[in-house]
Structure 1
Amino acid sequence: MARRRGWGAGRAFVVAALAGCLVGLVGGAFRWCLEHADLLRASVLEVAAGPGGAGRLIPVALTAAGAALACLIALRVPHAAGSGIQHVEAVWRQEAEARSAWLLPAKFAGGLVAIGSGLVLGREGPIVHMGAAIGSGAGRRGRLDAEDARMLHTALGGAGLAVAFTAPLGGLVFVCEEVTGTVRPRLVLLTLAGTVTAVAASGLIVGDALVLPMSAVAAPPLWMLPVFLLFGVAAGALGAAYSALVVRTLEVCDRLTRVPLVVRAAVIGALVGALMAFDPLLTGGGDQLSERLLAGGSLSAAALVLCLAVRFVAGPLSYAAATPGGLFAPLLALGALWGTFTHELASPLLPAGAAGPAAFAVVGMAAVFTGVVRAPLTGVVLVAEMTGAGVLLLPLLTACFAAAVTADRLGSPPVYDTLRRRMLQRA
């Protein structure tokens, strides 16, 4: 009897590890498809930039069609639209039921079309949701009890985040800090089992290189910590404004009851496509933009302001298209822009030996993320794993602390809490 109880208790870890492999393969395939979609989109833009003004209409039509098709796919499956992280959180709180049968293909196909066509959305939302759906199905097929099955759903959602950014520790912290708000030993172990195998399996498809490699930076001097504290305050205010704009844009679109959802998605896609025709850096998830800023690629102050302003609006607008797609990756790009722009403004006042633009960009990524999501440790760990910038740990922690406190004092709720309540009300 003791041996049976021991096997019953350990079976969940075996199921988590095996299901984690599937999360890694699905998430890795999703990333691989998106990478090739980016290449295809770049080729189309190159052709569209040729002689004749009519070519500029190609990206407009491409993104409009992609947004409409992705919206149509999402309409067929409940909870397929949007990030999906709010649904994972609702399942953990037992406010909603886990889904797996049609959610996975809807998220994969819809997310690929939406993000691949150039909407300002992140890959992490669909991969987290697909991971959770795989966890739910594995829990049923593995005949786990209800509590273990619920934990597995959440744990493999964290494995999905780890796969999205090649950040295994980030996936674990995300589960404990953002999704559950608690640290349970069994949940931690299930998440570790699923995350390790998921990242290992995805590495077979997309490799294990840093997602956002950056030029080498030295640890900033300690006297700069007050500077990063003030920088975090500004980033927290920016994050609070972005979070409010996401919710407000959704509310405005909800009032357009006479406009079919697919038509609304097509119009939003056309607007994003027009931005793409002007400059591809203004659209998409933002990885290329972030990588350019972190690698020391220079943008003029005017270009930084333009990118910052446009992406600040284009992200919430793209999310309102009701297609599968997340918020994290565009937030990281916005933070990198904000950090680089802040350094541009402050550099005349900074003495020799101060932190450079790449350091400000890295800290900005985590701080703006924290201002919106209100998960400072997740932001710090994710950004450190994505960039390899361990030497910036103290500035990251300082700025994220300030960003979280500032957004809270401004009365801005964590964005996924708001999105979860909105999802439950609409259901």
Structure 2
Amino acid sequence: MLICVTAMVAGVLIGFVGGAFRWCLTAADGLRADLADWAHRIPGPGWLVVMAAAAAGATLAALIVRWLPMAAGSGIQHVEAVHRGDATPPLLRLLPAKFVGGVLAIGSGLVLGREGPTVHMGAAIGAEAARRARLPDSEVRMLQTALGGAGLAVAFNAPIGGALFTLEEVTKSFRLRTVLATVLATATAVGCSRLINGNHADFQVEPVASPALSWLPLFIVFGLLTGCLGVFYNRLVLTFLDRVKAVPRIPAVAKAAVIGALIGLVTFIQPLATGGGDTLNQLILGGNSMVLAAIAGFLALRFIAGPLSYAAAVPGGLFAPLLAIGTLWGVLFVGGFDAVWPGDHASMAIPMAIVGMAAFFGATVRAPLTGIVIVIEMTATTSVAVPMLAATAAAVLVAELLRSPPIYDSLRERMPANPTTA
């Protein structure tokens, strides 16, 4: 009983904190777009203004990380390490570091996801709540894991997906106590966050007709190719991390500033190419047409900008940018197929984009059920569930056959021994 009450109280806290975090990022997206628009209209080199603003945001976020090193990156790998007993549960002072650092980093335009900081903040709240309730260490670890899932649910407004994330990706088990704590925390967290951000799905998608079963082989082929793309993306993330870290005699804060300035330049040229990617996703899923060259350009830019941004080692995750890449890749695939086999395939673009989100997520994170459920909840669309299952299974199969480890396993291996937030 005490665990259930503690989980619900902690769920309320991460619901309001995570909801406020999302609200701040939405406001920052609007301000960033307005700044880029203003910079185009002023006389002189307006691009320097946008570059300076992005560099300043990344620098301040990096300074926060220098104060509290555990605030760097996603934080999901730390939640997993705590569950495995390889790290100590996060302290509550991680919460302001992730909140402010995440708003500065993601708000400045770095191609990072809101879910990493929200998961980590949820874990910190869960661990602190368990300590205050005087629960044993095993329950502290369990509650930090359960509240991490609640944080993901708040980040994507996907309660079932957040609960599944805890069970499929972190614990890899379905123990009743963990399931109960996770479900209660997730339900209260999402309920509270919706008081701030609205009680609706993240993406507004018009009703999508179920693709004919005759198209199922095409979705499987798409999934196989997506698996290869996911493997390449994971390797790119790790390569950027290693290369940027290996640059000698340059402080981490300076590296973050340089990366921020580069992202700022991209923001000046095309604001949709930077940030978490929600606005770009909504444009595509909402039925706005783009020329194939623009889709390819956005995909190339975000494919590079995401790993580069993560290499800045500031607060920010990988999930949201993965979803944007999956959307772009799905539309590009349909366009390429139409070029090779001309026909009326325009109606396949949105279904393939939705499937691409789940398949690319599955290939990189290796949590296929979590990815599928999150996408279904974010789009409020179930009509492509069968193609989504087939394509995601194919993508995960390819990634496994290529022996590419899940991205968070690789990131966890790069953590220092027995890391703490002290």
TM-score, scaled to structure 2:
0.97
CA distance, structure 2, for counterparts of residue 370 and residue 184 of structure 1: 23
1:11 aligned onto 2:2: yes
**1:417 corresponding residue in structure 2:** 409
1:323 aligned onto 2:323: no
- Asked whether the 8 Å contact 1:220–1:354 carries over to 2, the reply is no
Q: What do the CA deviations read for 1:346-392 (whole angstroms, capped 9, x no partner)?
A: 13537658852111100001111111101110110000000011111
**Aligned pair partner of 1:203 in 191, 194, 208:** 194
Give the letter aligned to residue 103 of structure 1.
L
- Asked whether the 8 Å contact 1:68–1:265 carries over to 2, the reply is yes
Give the letter aligned to residue 230 of structure 1.
V
Q: Secondary structure at the match of 2:70?
A: coil
Q: What stretches of structure 1 move > 6 A for 4+ residues in a row?
A: none
**Aligned pair partner of 1:401 in 384, 393, 400:** 393
TM alignment of 1:132-171, pairs within 5 A: 132-171=123-162
Q: What do the CA deviations read for 1:212-258 (whole angstroms, capped 9, x no partner)?
A: 22122101111111111110011111111000000011111121131
CA distance, structure 2, for counterparts of residue 111 and residue 363 of structure 1: 28
CA distance, structure 2, for counterparts of residue 417 and residue 227 of structure 1: 31
- Asked whether the 8 Å contact 1:59–1:277 carries over to 2, the reply is yes
Give the letter aligned to residue 411 of structure 2.
L
CA distance, structure 1, for counterparts of residue 402 and residue 3 of structure 2: 42
**2:252 corresponding residue in structure 1:** 261
**Aligned pair partner of 1:383 in 372, 375, 384:** 375
CA distance, structure 1, for counterparts of residue 195 and residue 350 of structure 2: 30
Q: CA deviation at 1:99?
A: 1.4
- Asked whether the 8 Å contact 1:296–1:357 carries over to 2, the reply is no
Give the letter aligned to residue 56 of structure 2.
A
Q: CA deviation at 1:52?
A: 2.4
- Asked whether the 8 Å contact 2:86–2:418 carries over to 1, the reply is no
CA distance, structure 2, for counterparts of residue 315 and residue 192 of structure 1: 31
TM alignment of 1:14-413, pairs within 5 A: 14-347=5-338, 349=341, 356-413=348-405
- Asked whether the 8 Å contact 2:334–2:345 carries over to 1, the reply is no
- Asked whether the 8 Å contact 1:221–1:354 carries over to 2, the reply is no
Q: What do the CA deviations read for 1:148-179 (whole angstroms, capped 9, x no partner)?
A: 22111100000000000110000111011111
Give the letter aligned to residue 372 of structure 2.
V
Give the letter aligned to residue 22 of structure 1.
L
Q: CA deviation at 1:121?
A: 0.3
Structure 2 spans left out of the alignment, 5+ residues: none
Q: CA deviation at 1:23?
A: 0.6
CA distance, structure 1, for counterparts of residue 80 and residue 416 of structure 2: 11
Q: CA deviation at 1:424?
A: 3.2
CA distance, structure 1, for counterparts of residue 110 and residue 130 of structure 2: 34
Q: CA deviation at 1:180?
A: 1.2
CA distance, structure 2, for counterparts of residue 238 and residue 353 of structure 1: 23
How much is the aligned-residue C-alpha RMSD, in angstroms? 1.3
Structure 1 spans left out of the alignment, 5+ residues: 1-9
Q: What do the CA deviations read for 1:262-311 (whole angstroms, capped 9, x no partner)?
A: 00000000100011111011111000011111111111111111111111
Q: CA deviation at 1:78?
A: 3.1
Q: Secondary structure at the match of 1:101?
A: coil
TM-score, scaled to structure 1:
0.96
CA distance, structure 1, for counterparts of residue 15 and residue 71 of structure 2: 20
Give the letter aligned to residue 326 of structure 1.
G
Taking a change above 3 Å as real, the CA distance of residues 240 and 425 of structure 1, as seen in their structure-2 partners, is farther
CA distance, structure 2, for counterparts of residue 426 and residue 71 of structure 1: 22
- Asked whether the 8 Å contact 2:87–2:418 carries over to 1, the reply is no
CA distance, structure 1, for counterparts of residue 169 and residue 294 of structure 2: 34
**1:4 corresponding residue in structure 2:** none
CA distance, structure 2, for counterparts of residue 355 and residue 184 of structure 1: 43
Give the letter aligned to residue 327 of structure 2.
A
**1:3 corresponding residue in structure 2:** none
Q: Secondary structure at the match of 2:414?
A: helix
- Asked whether the 8 Å contact 1:220–1:355 carries over to 2, the reply is no
CA distance, structure 2, for counterparts of residue 177 and residue 101 of structure 1: 26
Name which of structure 1's ranges 116-125 and 179-188 shifts more when overlaid on structure 2: 179-188
Residue-pair matches, total: 418
